[in-house]
Structures are given as C-alpha cells and as structure tokens.
Structure 1
Amino acid sequence: MPRVADFIEKNREQLIERFLREASKLESARGLKPYEVLDTLPEYLSTLTALSRQGHRLEPEKTKKRLEETHISLRLRHGYNQEEVTGEYVLIGRLIASLWENLPREEQPSTEDTALLFAELQDAMNQVVATFSGDTLEDRQREKRTLRRLDALASELMGDVENPQPLHERLGALVEVVRQALHAKGAALLLTDPSGKKLLPATSTGAWSTGADTGPVPVDSASFVARVAASDEPVELADAASANLEVAEAVRHSGVHSLLGLRLWPHGKLLGVLYIGIAELRPFAPQARRYLETLVEYLSGIIEKTLLLQRFRQANEQLRQSETRYRLATEAISDAVWEWNLLTNELSWNQGVEKLFGHPREQLGGHISGWYDHIHPEERDRVVHGIHAAIDGEAERWRDEYRFRHRDGHYVNVTDHGLIERDAGGRAVRMVGVMQDITESKAASEALRSSEDRLRLALRAAELGTWDMDPVTGVLRWDERCKALFGLPPEADVTYDSFLSGIHPEDRAHTAAVVQRALSGENGGEYDTEFRSAVPHNGVERWVRATGRAFFEGGRAVRFIGTVHDVSDKKRQEAERRTRAEFEEQLIGIVSHDLRNPLNAINLSVAALLRNEDLSERQAKGIARIAAAAERATRLIRDLLDFTRARLGGGIPIERRPFDLHHLTRQTVDEVRFAHPEREVEVVQSGQGRGEWDGDRLAQVVTNLLNNALTYSPPETLVRVETRGEDDTFLLRVHNEGKPIPPELLPRLFNPMMRGTKKGDTSSRNIGLGLYIVNNIVHAHGGMVEVCSTEAEGTTFTVRLPRGAASAAKSRSTG
C-alpha cells in the first residue's frame, strides 16, 4: 500500500504550483512575490514526507516545528490574519489528499498514515491559534474547567426557587474561583449602590480575606477602583504599595504589588468592579488580561441574573403584601366611595361620605337625585351633563371637579372619578366611583400658581426660556423666550419635530441622541447640551444651551422639563481665547525657528575662535561663556520647537532605529557629567539593552530627567540612573534625594510651563518644558512615565518603553 510520502514526492512540483495559485488569491497575499507566498512550503513538504516514512522521530519533528514557527512569523510580518494562516494549512491538506481521493481504496495510503498527516497539520493550526490569540490548548481547557465551576455555583444560587441562597453568601466562592484561575494572591469585588454613584465592598478572598476595601468608593474619586470603573479595558497598577492612585490600606500593606482590575458592565451599565493582585512586581501577560475579561464577563452574567431573580421574588412578595394592604385599606378608607345602578338609578355610599362631608349614608343614598341636589348650583348643570354624556357615549371613565355641599352648609372642593361598566351590547349598567376632598390641595395649587408667576418673572429677568414636554403624548410647550431663541413668534405652535428642525443640521443628530438618552433614564434623566439654532440672530450664529430633567413613573418617562439660554456671547469669547492661544503657540514656533540661524552662526564663530591657539586665558573664558550661553539658548529653542510640535502638530515625531539604550544612556550621562563635574552620578545597568527607538529623542529624555535631578537635589548628594532590560520593555529610573515634590504639583507636573518647585538659583532657571517634552517623547514611543516623591525615599522618575513599534502598538491596544 502506498504511503503519503510517495504521493508528495511524486507530485511535489504540482503541489507547489497549485498551492501558489490558490494561496495567492488571499487578500494579504496581494503584492507578495511568488517566493514570499511559497515561503517554507518546499522544505515543509519534505518534512511531511520524512514524518510519513519515519513517524514521530526527533529530528523531523524539530524541523517541522522550526518551519511552522518561521512561516507563522513571516505571515505575521506580512499582515496575515489567523484565519488566512490556518487556511493555508487546510489548503496543504486538501491538495495532498486530492492526489488519491479518486483512486481505488487499495491504491490509497493507509488510514493511519492519513491520520498522521492531518494530525501534524492540526498541530500546526493549533500553533497558529496560540500565536495569534496567545491562548494555548491548555489555556482553553483550563478556561472551560473554570467556567464549569462558576456554572455549578450559579446553579446553587438560582436552582432552588423555594429556598434560594442569598447572593452575598456565595459571592466569596465565585470570586475565589476567579482568583485561583488567575493564580492571584488576592481578589476583591465591589458592586454599585442603587444610585450608581458609589461602589460598595461585596467580598474579598485570598490575602484580602479580612476585607480589602472597608467603605464605599465614589465612582468619580481619584482611586484605582474608580479608574477601573471608568475604563472599557482591564486596568493595571504596577505597584499598589507605592501608587499615586488611592488604594485601600489593606491592599497596600498586604504584600501584594501588581493589581489588575476590570469593571462588570452587562448591557452597558456599571454593575461593579473586580480586581486581583499578585505578590510579584511585574506586568500581567496578555493571556491573563484576556482570561480576566472572559471570567468577569461570565461572572457579570451570573450576578446580574441572580439580582434579577431576587428582585422578581421581592416583587412577588411586595405584590402579596400590597394586596393585603389594599384589602385592609378599602375597609378603612376615608374617601367617599359610591356605586350607581344605572338601570334603577339607585345610589349607595360607604362610610367615607360621613367622615368627609358629615352626611349619613342614608341621607345621600337611595336615588341619584340626592347627589344632584348637593352639587353647587353654579356647576350642577355642567357636572350632570358631563357624567351623562360619558354614560351615553362610549367612555369607560369619567372625571370632574366641582363644589359639594357639606352637612353644615358650606361647600368643599372635590374631585370625582367614576368607572363605567357596560354589558355585552355596550349599554352602561353600573358605575363605581371615588370622591375626594381637595379643598386644601386646591388652595395649595393656587399658592403654587402664584409662585409660578413669580418664577416666570425671574426667568424673564434672567433671559431664560422654559419648555415642558409630555413624552407619552408628545405634546411640547414653549414659553415666549424659548420660541424667540428659535426665531418663532409667540403664537407659533411647536412640536418635537419643529424643535429638531430649528437646530443647525450639524448639531441635530447629536442633540436628538442626548434627548433620547435622558428619556431612557441615563444619568438619572439629566439633560444638558449645547447646539446652534438653524436661524442666525441678526446674521450672527446663535448658540443655545438647553438643560432639563426627565421624570419617571414605573420606569417610563412621563414628564420632561427644562430651560434654554442664549450662550452665543460665551461661545464667541471661548473662540477668541482659543484663537489667541493658537496664535501665541504659532508665534513661539515661528520665533524659535527663526532664532536658530543666528545662533548657528554664533556657534560656528565660537568654534572657530576656540581653535585659535593664540587666545589668552581671559579671552578663552569669555568665548567659553559665549558658547555656554549659545548652547542654553539652543536648548531653549529646541524645547520651544518641541512644545509647538506637541501642541500644534499632533505630537513629537520619532524615527526608530536599532541601537543599545544602555550605551546611549552611559554616553548621555557622561555628557551631563562634563557640565556638572562637581556632582556624583551613579549608573546601574542590567538586562538586554537592544531595541528600536529614536536615539536622539531618548537622549533628550535622559538629559532632561538627569538635569532635573541635579537641579532639585542637594549638591553633596548622589544622583542614581538605572537602566534595566526586561522581556518586552526597557526601564529607565532617575533618582535623587532632597525635598519631595509638593503633592499639589504632582497631578500637573508634566504640564507645560510647570516646575517641581518655585525655588532655585538663577543658573537653573528654565521655561518649564523639560518634563512636558519627556512625557510627549515617551508617549510617542508607546511608553509611560511615572513619578514617586516622598520625604523618606526622595524623588524617582520611572520610564517604561516598549522595545519596538510592534510592542508599542500592542501596549497601546491593551492599555
């Protein structure tokens, strides 16, 4: 029986030709040369041949792995996606199998030989998936086991309808599963309170089993938990023990360093925050971040379903209690309840009529005329005509307000509601109603109306327009000022559509979306937006600010009210300030650029003078002072140009090239030492220093940080520069002793025109752009810069840089 190897060897050129033709059709293969499409295929076919003949021998298996890794790496470089690369291995299998699929069974390879071929190709595809996703088969199996554990706990929470377990009793077990799955030292879960503005500690496990967070955490606070709640992606904290963000004391002192957190966000609403911690001071691998996302999403669903089930059970219990209360209330109700037999005109009352109006039920009961006689004469005809019109028509309900005579002779204001019962033919046969005394509420309404009149006067004085919308019926009411802002006369009718048409077309869709979010209950129904009106005012663009709030009943918006205000003057002033600021920044760039030519001339002249061997000592010192001054001016111009690029050009540009950052750091430190011979600077280096960066820019980073450390530290103290190569990142630390940076300056330290202190001698004066430029250069490389400054430990600036453009892009996508 022939082997797979025989078919490959016999048809080798045909296989290569067919693979090239098929694989070249892929989107990512466009523009590639034939040898780039074929890549390692010829050698790979030879390896498959060797495996077919020899089985799992060490050398062919090692060669196969090497070829697969090489192929996958090259495909990554060419921009292939996972599906395209796995598809190539599927294509190889299909092409080889097609060589014998139409032959008689005895002329085909054995089942074992064919199975070996497809097992090797499947192994290659698994390697592709692991490379692209970062998840190995073992990772996926581990994830399945963890999800099964969570499912089992979820069944305990929701399985027993009669005797359900409270959610808080099982939260610890759920979070412990997540902690163990991620091999974390501690894990903590916080859930939002009903207002959605605070996160309440729910449970903690592992090193934090006694409690991580001890109290509510506002979602708008400057804390690690709040930062996690505001982020769509997992948030990492390098060191909880020394972080600038607020971290719970129990976490800070637990021996846990690196934290990783993710919010629970089912259906676009914050449910809570879960974070884990590890003892090591290291970044989390991308697999761990993805694993956390999977587990948190699953955990969110379990918690949300459990909470919904609990609310459903509570609602059922409340309904049962409500029905009991209603039965008791109807027995003790103080309103006047009446029942009218429309066929016999007999009328009966409950005891409420005596409590409210002093009339015995027997006096008003009997015939309907007893009710008629007690209605105020001025309103009797209207009320009687209205209730009979409802009865004779097709109405189901009737309502009216009128004055009703009390037993002592005075009249009280009442509201009367009736429900009409009809037979199958539509004839009214019975009517049941409730009469309430509204004398006090009517007086209060009159007082409220008077207050509203005063409010209207105040709104007119403040030039505020008011609006009121009924979201149920769509009825919209504007006052005169509101209409005037949209260029409408006082008598104009308005609708929601006319409101939208009165907005500038470019602002219309955004404004409509803000309205819908308020009516859906987002942000508590608050509404606040600015837009331009479609009709200019006296030929000038008019800006309007609209604020308001929606009110809800049973989860549905029933009223939407607010004000509008002309903010055109404010907008024009803001535009003028922006224009002035942009002009100033452009002027800085122009001036600093034009100053470089005369400074270059000065530097060249000074260099020429310094080459003169006949200079006296006094002359040499004078020329050296000129050179130093020109160099300071050059640095000032460079900082101004970098500042202008960062503010107006979208960031400081960088040009990457391979070099050793350890070597560049030593060289830069030596240059700074030359300018500060009296100071001691220690350099400590470890790990691999090779990478792809912009050397000139990173020399600026080292120079600025080192000069900063020398400037703001006592002359007799040591300044320490540390560089350390890690797996995918490079670490630069500059440490100095001395007074710490004031805490109130730390949040603004990397802003332009900022300095760490207001003190310092005149020789160290600068324009406060050094740290701003450092921050922009580091961010342009996809890195980050942090500062820690305390009285006990001094000040340390830490820069973390990805080793190349690919790792920088990966860092930005996961950060």
Structure 2
Amino acid sequence: MGEGGPQRPGRRMRLCDFIRVSQSLILAEWEREARSHPYSQGLSRPRLLDHLPDLLDRMANMVETLHTGERQSMEGLPEVHALERLEVGYDLEQVAHEYALLRACILRLYEVHAEQVGMGEPAVMLREVRRFNQIFDAAVSTAVTCYARTRERTLVALDRISEAALGTEVLDTFLPKLLRVILESTESVDSVTLMLREENTLRMRASVGVEEALDAGFRLQVGEGFVGKVAAERRPLELHAAATDPLVKNPVLRARSIRALYGVPLSHGSDVIGVATMSSLTAASFSTEDKLLFRTMVQRISALLFQARLQEREQSQRRLLDAILTQLPVGVAVAEAPSGHLILGNQAFEDIWRHPFIHSPDLEGYRKYRGIHPDGRPFEPQEWPIARALQGEVVHAMEICILRGDGTRGVTLQNSAPLRDAQGRIIAAVVTALDITDHKAAEEQQRRTVEFRERFLGIVSHDLRNPLNAVRLSAEAILKSGSTNPGQARNARRILGSTERMRRMIADLLDFTRGQLGGGIPVNRQPVELLQLTRHVLEELETGHPGRVFRLEASGQFLGEWDPDRFAQVLGNLGKNALDYSPEGTPVDFRLRDEGATVCLEVHNEGAPIPAHELPYIFEPYQRAATGRGHSASGLGLGLFIVQQIVQAHGGTITVHSTEAEGTTFAVRLPRYGARHERSPEA
C-alpha cells in the first residue's frame, strides 16, 4: 500500500489525519494547560481558542502535502492569531509560549496513539513529524514577526497620537490632528472620519483625507446607515464596495467611489460615545494588521476623547463658577484643610478688605487680615469663622469689625462652613462676607434720631403741661367771675376748647413716649362694668358732636378687670376716628359682645374704605389717612397707635376690616382678667 492510501483499522494514523480526527482532544488538552497560566485566565473560551481550529486544519493540510505533493499555505492564520493576542494584551513571550504548548500537546498525544497501535513505518512517521516541526517553526516565526512588527507600528502610532493630543484641550482642535496620525500610519487608508454621539444622534466632528469636504453638520441616527449600525451593534463592521452599498449615507463616500470601509465604535465602559471609520479608494478590504492597528488607535482616541470631554466640562464649570464668584455681591473665600491655605477669594472679598487677596499658606498668615473684637482685642487666627469651619464648626451671621487696607474700619457679616468629601472628611472651608458698614452706620444714625425725637417729644410734652394748665385755669376763672360780657365769655370758651385739644395732644405724646421708651403703656386693672363705661364715653362724644348719631348694641355680661381710664381712651379714640372718616349724617355704631372669657368691642362707620396699601401700617405712629376719606383729621396721627398699645397692655388684640360695601370696622378683643386671675378648669 502506498503512503497516500487509506489506513486500516488498528494501524497508526498519519499525523495529518490524527490532527484532524483528534482536534477536539488536542484543543481540550491545550486549553487545560493554557489555563494554568495567569495571562489566559481572563479570556473567555471562544476568545482563548480564537483561530486555533482553523490553524490546526491548515497544519494538517500542509503535513499531508508530504504524501500528496500538493502546494498548501497557512494563508495568514499565524499572523491573525498573533494580532488577536496582541489586541488582548499578550506580550511576545506569552504568544510564543502558547505555540509551544500547542506543539507539545499535539506531539504528546500522537506519541500516545503510536504507542497504542504501533509505529507502523518509522521512517514515514519521522518524516511526518519533521515536516510538522518545520511547518510549526515557520508558523511561530511568522506569528512572532507579525506580532513584533505590528506592536512596533502600534507603539509608534500611539506615541504620535499622545504627542498630537499634548497641549490641546478643545475637541475641534485636536481631533483632526489625531485622525491625521491614523491616516499617515496606514498606506491603504485614504480617509478617516469621526462621528460623536449626542443622545441618539451621531454628528460629524472631524474628517481627514478625501472626506475633508464633508459638511460638519452631517448627522445620522443610531441604527441608521453603516455608521449608525456600528453604533447600534457596538462592534466593528466592514464593507467592500462602500460607494454602491445602500447602507452608506455619506454623500462624499458615494461620490468618491470608495471601496473598502471599516467602522469601529468608540466606547467608554458600556457606553458608545461615537464611531470612527477608515476608507480606501483602491483596496477592497483592509488587512487584519491594519484593522487591529485602527482599533487600537481608536481605543486610545476614545480614552483621550473622554478625558478631553471631562476637561472641557471641568473648564466650563470652572468658568461658570468664576463668573458666579465674580458677579456675587458677597465676598467669598476658600481655605484648604487641614493647613488653612487660602486658595481662592473673589473680587467682592477684595473690595470688602480694600486690598488684594492674600494667599495665606497657613492659619498664622491670617494675622494679615485684621479683625477687632467689641472690647478692642484683635482677632487671633483661630478665631476667624473660616478657621473654625476647618475644625468642623458652622458659623452663622457673625458680625466682625475689620481694619481695611486703606486704614478705615468696616463691619462684615460672616458665615462659614466646612466642605466635606464623599467619606465625610473635611477637605476645605468656605466663608462668605457681607459688607454691612453702611447699614450699621445708617442703623446707628436711625437709632440716635429716633431716640432724640422721642426724648424730645417727651420733654416738650411734659414741659408744656404747666403753662397750658395756667391758661386753662385763667379761662375758667374768667367764666366763673360773672363780670364778663357775652363776647368775653365766648372767647374764654374758645380758649378752653383749644386748651382741651392741646391737652389731648400732649397726653398722646406722653403715651407714645411711654410706649416707645418705657416698655409699653402702663395699665391699672380694677373691676369695670364695660357697658356702663361705654355709655359714659358715648355721652361725652354726643356732647362734643351734637349733630352726629351714635348707636350702641350690647348682649351679655360685661364685668371684668380693666383700666377704666385707658379703656375710655380706647373708646374715645376709636369713636373720634370713626367721626373723622365718615360722612356727615351717617351713624357711628358701637357693638359689645359677650364671648365668654373675652369680650369684643366693634366700632363701625360708613364712608370710603381705608386703601388696601395703608392697612398694614394703620397702627404705626404718625400715620394719617389719605385725603378724600371724610373730614380732615386733627391730631398727630398717634390715636390708633395708642389704642393698639393699650389693647396689647391688656393682653388683647385689635383688627380692622374695611371695604367699599361694608364700611370700616375696628374690632377689639380683651380677656376679662389678667394672667394673675386665670384659674384651671378644676378650680
């Protein structure tokens, strides 16, 4: 039987047949041994076995040429395998070690087979083994050479990409430079494009080569066309007749008769952030080596692109922060922890201190910022709010007198707080400073003005009482003398009326002064029958205003403890106010209601309502009604203020309701007894 004839059962198989028949056994044995090495443990089984089944088939075919005399080749499989290993991160020694394990597995298993069935013709077997080793040595040499060459090309290209990216942070500036490196690294490539993803849209951001004329506004949806398909499927794709393929939507590629088109997704983690493509006018396909180089460079560009986007976002946020800090009317400063190094201060902070920001390296440097305690002591570095915040304290609204750069004094309102990282550690502290110098000066001036005015009014009103009493007594004496003619008596009564008005005005001034400076208007509680007191006050009002009608409604019991003189003052002021701001001929109504523990007094008048914008200030001192409401009111505008003070001194409340349809009603609610008379329900 010749060497090329069929094998009889029980006899040694030819090495080529053994490799084909035992392929699964060989791969399993090889995988077991390969997995014992750390470099292969992270690979999935398909990725680990990679092109090995095809490689074994080709080796079997080439060993068989010893018997058939045919011409066979490895057809680039060693190169492909080496490039795949390069892509997953193997070094050259690891690639060679994988081949050595495969050779050893095949020969060891074939030796076991020969021992089991016999060597048959030893000379033939030796020639087959020798032929196998020659083929295997050539495959290893090819793989190692391809690996080394491609790795060198890749390292050079990556170095050029890194160099092109140095010093450039704007995407539209450095992306074309990176694509130019790819274009110049591969002879068969005529153009390179990059489309970046914006939500579900891919937009052209850079192109070099024959596609440089492509409109920068060119867009595709994810899943649309060739580029959209690459993004949707998240894997590299290749076309061999791109100009006529319906998947190609790029008008330039179709117009330039592009042949080969290869697209690779740009990924960061699990996100596709864009798609890069390379195309050729002459080649119908790209070599495995060129595609690996392209994928590797695209991976590097993905990382650079993500980094550039982060830098761009960081710069945008920094510009926004700078704009905010610059335009804030509040001074802001930031200190690092734990040193206290002042690293940032805005323009408002410098304006408050009236000198440039001092980048103090530590707390001791805070002495250059001079603060003064109320007792005149200087601020120590650790006493500043920002220093306290570095220790974890939050400081609210601390007023600090400062000595500014121009030698003047100012007052600031400072707030500070610590800044913490995700673990809760203090990494910095921030302080805000508001210049309240003018506010404090205005506040002090207002305080002095009010104090002077109120003391002046108190003194004047007190000193006016004595001469006014003398005038009143003289007028009364003239009337009582009986020797006056009618004209003199009329003048005396006019004098008495005027002195009475003056007396009321002085009394109002004294009450106002007591309310503002003396802790409120004093009241002297005693048993009072409120209905009887009200009738008495109404009689006085009727005497002084004979042309007006006063109506009184009352239901219930009105005994309680109040100051009768002060409450008569309340009734009189509210009644006079109703007279002043109601038309002639309209009634003024007084209503008393028994509400159990409290009593309610209402005083109502018709006429124009109080304007809505005046209602919140109706009980303020010196408030006078707008013109057009009833008669011109006399007095100082203190009547309602005094009423409110008396009511509050009794523990009561006063409200006002005023509309066009219902008129104006003032409602006073008073507790029957003071706090010392309150008893529990069980008492």
User: What TM-score do you get using the length of structure 2 for normalisation?
Assistant: 0.50
- Residue 766 of structure 1 corresponds to 635
Distance 1:627 1:543 in 2: 55
Structure 1 residues 694 and 372: alpha-carbon distance in aligned structure 2, compared to 1, 3 A threshold: farther
Of 483, 486, 493, the residue aligned with 2:361 is 493
Of 515, 539, 542, the residue aligned with 1:646 is 515
Distance 2:407 2:518 in 1: 34
Deviation at residue 728 of structure 1 after TM alignment: 1.5
Whichever of the two has the greater Rg, that structure is: 2
Residue 132 (structure 2) pairs with residue 409 (structure 1): no
Deviation at residue 650 of structure 1 after TM alignment: 2.1
Per-residue CA deviation, residues 551-604 of structure 1 (Å, 9 max, x unaligned), is: 999897998767534332332233223222221222222222211111111111
Secondary structure of residue in 2 paired with 1:751: coil
- Residue 292 of structure 1 corresponds to none
Structure 1 residues 484 and 645: alpha-carbon distance in aligned structure 2, compared to 1, 3 A threshold: same
- Residue 578 of structure 1 corresponds to 447
Of 458, 469, 472, the residue aligned with 1:600 is 469
- Residue 656 of structure 2 corresponds to 787
Structure 1 residues 372 and 691: alpha-carbon distance in aligned structure 2, compared to 1, 3 A threshold: farther
Structure 1 residues 415 and 366: alpha-carbon distance in aligned structure 2, compared to 1, 3 A threshold: closer
**Identity of aligned pairs, percent?**
32
- Residue 612 of structure 1 corresponds to 481
Of 753, 759, 763, the residue aligned with 2:622 is 753
Of 796, 801, 806, the residue aligned with 2:675 is 806
Secondary structure of residue in 1 paired with 2:181: coil
Of 528, 532, 536, the residue aligned with 2:400 is 532
Q: How does 1:479-558 map to 2 (within 5 A)?
A: 479=345, 482=349, 490-494=358-362, 529=397, 531-533=399-401, 541-546=409-414
Deviation at residue 740 of structure 1 after TM alignment: 2.0
- Residue 713 of structure 1 corresponds to 582
Amino acid at match of 1:647: Q
Structure 1 residues 449 and 581: alpha-carbon distance in aligned structure 2, compared to 1, 3 A threshold: same
Amino acid at match of 1:468: V
Secondary structure of residue in 1 paired with 2:658: strand
Pairwise CA RMSD of aligned residues?
5.3
Deviation at residue 479 of structure 1 after TM alignment: 2.4
Unpaired runs of at least 5, structure 1: 1-340, 352-359, 384-401, 418-432, 522-526
Amino acid at match of 1:629: S
Per-residue CA deviation, residues 456-483 of structure 1 (Å, 9 max, x unaligned), is: 7x56xx9964323679998763428647
Secondary structure of residue in 1 paired with 2:521: coil
Secondary structure of residue in 2 paired with 1:632: helix
Residue 89 (structure 2) pairs with residue 366 (structure 1): yes
Residue 459 (structure 2) pairs with residue 687 (structure 1): no
Structure 1 residues 551 and 342: alpha-carbon distance in aligned structure 2, compared to 1, 3 A threshold: farther
Structure 1 residues 724 and 346: alpha-carbon distance in aligned structure 2, compared to 1, 3 A threshold: closer
Contact (CA 8 Å) 2:508, 2:642: kept in 1 or not?
yes
Of 343, 352, 372, the residue aligned with 1:477 is 343
Q: How does 1:17-36 map to 2 (within 5 A)?
A: none
Residue 568 (structure 2) pairs with residue 699 (structure 1): yes
Distance 1:546 1:404 in 2: 50
Secondary structure of residue in 2 paired with 1:437: helix
Secondary structure of residue in 1 paired with 2:499: helix
Distance 1:655 1:769 in 2: 21
Residue 589 (structure 2) pairs with residue 737 (structure 1): no
Q: How does 1:225-374 map to 2 (within 5 A)?
A: 344=39, 364-367=87-90
Deviation at residue 628 of structure 1 after TM alignment: 1.0
Contact (CA 8 Å) 2:583, 2:607: kept in 1 or not?
yes
Contact (CA 8 Å) 2:385, 2:414: kept in 1 or not?
no
Secondary structure of residue in 2 paired with 1:747: helix
Contact (CA 8 Å) 1:345, 1:368: kept in 2 or not?
no
Distance 2:401 2:267 in 1: 44
Amino acid at match of 1:648: L
- Residue 672 of structure 1 corresponds to 541
Distance 1:555 1:788 in 2: 58
Structure 1 residues 533 and 733: alpha-carbon distance in aligned structure 2, compared to 1, 3 A threshold: same
Amino acid at match of 2:512: F
Deviation at residue 706 of structure 1 after TM alignment: 0.6
Distance 1:368 1:542 in 2: 70
- Residue 593 of structure 2 corresponds to 724
Distance 2:158 2:665 in 1: 87
Residue 239 (structure 2) pairs with residue 467 (structure 1): no
Distance 1:579 1:787 in 2: 32
Unpaired runs of at least 5, structure 2: 1-35, 48-82, 93-150, 167-173, 184-193, 195-265, 270-299
Per-residue CA deviation, residues 324-369 of structure 1 (Å, 9 max, x unaligned), is: xxxxxxxxxxxxxxxxx996599989x9xxxxxxxx9866432479
Q: How does 1:38-437 map to 2 (within 5 A)?
A: 344=39, 364-367=87-90, 376=159, 409=181, 435=303, 437=306
Contact (CA 8 Å) 1:480, 1:490: kept in 2 or not?
no
Contact (CA 8 Å) 2:360, 2:366: kept in 1 or not?
no
Deviation at residue 550 of structure 1 after TM alignment: 9.4
Amino acid at match of 2:450: A
Distance 1:480 1:537 in 2: 16
Contact (CA 8 Å) 1:684, 1:723: kept in 2 or not?
yes
Secondary structure of residue in 1 paired with 2:596: coil
Contact (CA 8 Å) 1:346, 1:367: kept in 2 or not?
no
Deviation at residue 701 of structure 1 after TM alignment: 0.2
Per-residue CA deviation, residues 107-157 of structure 1 (Å, 9 max, x unaligned), is: xxxxxxxxxxxxxxxxxxxxxxxxxxxxxxxxxxxxxxxxxxxxxxxxxxx
Amino acid at match of 1:670: E
Secondary structure of residue in 2 paired with 1:678: coil
Structure 1 residues 531 and 775: alpha-carbon distance in aligned structure 2, compared to 1, 3 A threshold: same
Contact (CA 8 Å) 1:375, 1:403: kept in 2 or not?
no
Contact (CA 8 Å) 1:530, 1:543: kept in 2 or not?
no
Secondary structure of residue in 1 paired with 2:637: coil
Greater length-normalized contact order (CA 8 Å, ≥ 6 residues apart) = 2
Deviation at residue 745 of structure 1 after TM alignment: 1.6
- Residue 118 of structure 2 corresponds to none
Amino acid at match of 2:608: K
User: What TM-score do you get using the length of structure 1 for normalisation?
Assistant: 0.43
Moved more, 433-442 or 789-798: 433-442
Structure 1 residues 495 and 361: alpha-carbon distance in aligned structure 2, compared to 1, 3 A threshold: farther
Structure 1 residues 443 and 785: alpha-carbon distance in aligned structure 2, compared to 1, 3 A threshold: closer
Secondary structure of residue in 1 paired with 2:622: coil
Deviation at residue 372 of structure 1 after TM alignment: 6.5
